[in-house]
Structure 1
Amino acid sequence: MINTITNKELLFKALDYTRAGVLITDPQLDDNPIIYANQGFYEMTGYAAPDIIGQNCRFLQGEETDQNEVKRLRDSIKANESCSVTLYNHKKSGEGFWNSLTVDHLYIEEEKKHFFIGVQKDVTREKEIERELLGSQQEIASLACPIVPVFKGVAVLPLIGKVNQERFNHILTITTEEIVDRRLTTIIADLSGVTNASDFLLADLVTLKDVIRMQGANLIITGMSSTIAMDILQTKDLLYNNLQTAGSVQEVIQSLIEEEKKKLD
């Protein structure tokens, strides 16, 4: 433990130069209040010493703060354990920010006292980058499997480029979700933009057909290359021969429209 006034003053001055926010709380006092905050904390939150000294640091929380994370933090403090959480907190101005908080338990043997030291960092920018990255990944995933609604119950799945196993699994997941969400009865898979024609792709189409059928929908394949068409004609596997095909998306749509007209007549 630091015993001299000089060393204590030096320590606190050093903490004030730290960019991170630092809090020290005393759990021996009622409601585990703040007994020290460094300059970094004041600058980060906009609060001043008279606002927070003697207060529990929950004043930083708001309606958007994840209460599960708060509970995890409280449970760790109750057990005198260290903990790291990321909380959505609020500055004195009301502005929200993401707070990466690490709380460590400190026991001073000479005084037989417990303290908690909280080190806080504003990670709002990092969270924004993370959100932007997630949005980009979702957009890429959407482009990898774009489901285009045509009219009630009918949608087109235009496939472009190479269809590898990873992409096919994604197509399978998204397609089945869209069947449920949009109550689709017909999926038109257009292969005119596919660049890899192989037995692997043919097997995938059979799997896609079977999964879609189990969901109560029908798969129609258009834009099939001559290579794939010849593979189907030459194979003796009935599963492949049972694939329903058409010349183009427009042809299928026109046929479905005519069927609907006949039902109305």
Structure 2
Amino acid sequence: MENILINNELIKKAMDSAHIGISITDPSLLDNPLVYVNDGFIKMTGYSSDEAIGKNCRFLQGKETSSRTVSRIRESLKNEKPFVTEIYNYRKNGTAFWNELHIEPVFIESEQKTYFIGIQKDITKQREYLDKISELSTPIVPINDHLSVLPLIGELTVKRSEELMNTVSSYAAQSGDQAIIVDLSGLIKVEKDEVARLLKLYSVLNMMGTELILTGVTPLLILETSTDLIAELSGIRTYMNVKQAIKAFN
């Protein structure tokens, strides 16, 4: 299959010189195959143009690729909506990398059809850095006999939320604290819908007789929260910072 869209030599050279991956798929063809990949895509994945074109992008997926992310990508393609995500992909040689993927539907008037343009960026080093930051999270710190603080640093991911649920609930059961402050001011990234797990943690602690107090709620957290969840969050005591929360509790 030929690169049917890039006929202008100047445009092709410009796309090939980009330090990111650029790909185009044609959903009017069976299985929405690639019809163009630039040199950045080839260098990033290790697959040649001949090996990639004509195939669906799923050949970059592997055993550790999130099925949830794949489903969200599939849904955005179905609805022809722009989409941005991070997905764990695999190169031809089997090594994995984190791919910051931007998908944009583009309608071509002359053909009366829509193509999908994909922009890929290898963010593996950035993700590794964030993981190291996350590991620096301070353990739960007792303030007094009735109150403790857990500062969160880095990212709030599915895995991190599950660990948070287990760690905090186990600590509450052992300490018998009246309240635990979870400080969110150190978060620099929040995965979509993970705020819902904070509400679940609030309910679990409430049944144990321990109050969950949130501090450092950032605009980032609000942006990643649905309107319904924001309404539910209003039932949790929230303060600008840990100092204010401790003062109010005492």
- Could you say which TM-score interval applies, normalised by the shorter chain? 0.5 to 0.7
Residue of structure 1 in register with 2:23 after alignment? 23
Superimposed CA distance per residue, residues 114-172 of structure 1 (whole angstroms, 9 cap, x where no aligned partner): 100000000000100110000012xxx22x63xxxxxxxxxxxxx6xxx49xx94417x
Residue matched to 1:80: 80
Q: Distance in 1 between matches of 2:176 and 2:58?
A: 54
Find the aligned partners of 1:186 and 1:115 in 2 and give their Cα distance: 58
Aligned partner of 2:127 in structure 1 is: 127
- Listed as ranges, the gaps of 5+ residues in structure 1 are 146-158, 188-210, 216-265
Runs (4+) of structure 1 moved beyond 6 Å?
A: 173-176
Larger radius of gyration: 1
Tell me the secondary structure at the aligned position of residue 94 of structure 2.
coil
CA distance in 2, matches of 1:83, 1:58: 16
Q: How does 1:178-197 map to 2 (within 5 A)?
A: 178=171, 180=173
Q: Secondary structure at the match of 2:13?
A: helix
Unaligned runs of 5+ in 2: 151-163, 178-205, 211-250
Task: Give, in whole Å, the separation in 2 of the partners of 1:92 and 1:134.
Answer: 30
Distance change in 2, residues 1:6/1:108 (3 Å): closer
**Residues 38-77 of structure 1: matches in 2 within 5 Å?**
38-77=38-77
Q: Is this contact kept in 1: 2:22–2:117, CA < 8 A?
A: yes
Aligned to 2:136: 136
Corresponding letter in the other structure for 2:63: E
Who is 2:92 aligned against? 92
Which secondary structure state, in structure 1, belongs to the residue aligned with residue 8 of structure 2?
helix
**C-alpha offsets along residues 183-236 of structure 1, whole Å, 9 cap, x if unaligned?**
x5999xxxxxxxxxxxxxxxxxxxxxxx9x969xxxxxxxxxxxxxxxxxxxxx
CA distance in 1, matches of 2:51, 2:69: 24
* Equivalent pair of 2:34/2:52 in contact (CA under 8 Å): yes
Cα distance between partner residues in 2 of 1:121 and 1:14 = 17
- Provide the residue aligned with 1:221 in structure 2: none
- Deviation for aligned residue 1:176: 6.2
* Offset, 1:100: 0.4
Compared CA separation, residues 179 and 80, structure 1 to 2 (3 A): closer
In structure 1, C-alpha distance between the alignment counterparts of 2:168 and 2:74, rounded to whole Å: 43
Cα distance in 2 between the residues matched to 1:32 and 1:17 = 25
Would you say the 8 A contact 2:76–2:83 is kept in 1?
A: yes
TM-score, length-scaled by structure 1: 0.54
How far is 1:112 from its partner? 0.5
Quote the residue 2:101 is aligned against: 101
Q: What TM-score results when the alignment is normalised by the length of structure 2?
A: 0.58
Which residue of 2 is the match for residue 170 of structure 1?
149
Q: Is the 8 A contact 2:99 2:123 kept in 1?
A: yes
